[in-house]
Amino acid sequence: LAIAASLLCGYLGMEQGLNPSAPVRGRAFERRNMRLPFTLEQALERMEHCAELERYMGHRFVTGYVAVKRVENENFKQVISSWEREFLLLSV
């Protein structure tokens, strides 16, 4: 999925006539305009509302993938305690 998404981003950039930005130097995580979702739920929310992804990968795939990942995340939360998520997982 990551490779398909990366290729799709490249294709969309060419289709829209976008020029690549300059390479990032230094600490990329400090750039305010390049923030990734902090949680899986935030990432799934973005994925669910991405028109381009749905257009090229299909509505059924996107909704199915998001639904499966939400169930997996809920199962994960039942096994890993809220304390572990707050103090261990997010501290890495």
Would residue 60 count as lying in a domain? yes
Would residue 42 count as lying in a domain? yes
Residues 6+ apart with CB under 8 A from 45: 37
Would residue 47 count as lying in a domain? yes
Q: What integer pLDDT is reported at residue 41 of this predicted model?
A: 94
Would residue 61 count as lying in a domain? yes
The overall average pLDDT reported for the chain is 87
The number of C-alpha atoms within 13 Å of 45 and in the hemisphere containing its C-beta is 7
Q: What integer pLDDT is reported at residue 27 of this predicted model?
A: 78
Would residue 48 count as lying in a domain? yes
What domain range is 53 assigned to?
A: 37-92
Q: What integer pLDDT is reported at residue 24 of this predicted model?
A: 79
- pLDDT by residue (tens digit) across 49-83? 999 999 999 999 999 999 999 999 999 888 878 78
Q: How many domains does the chain have?
A: 1
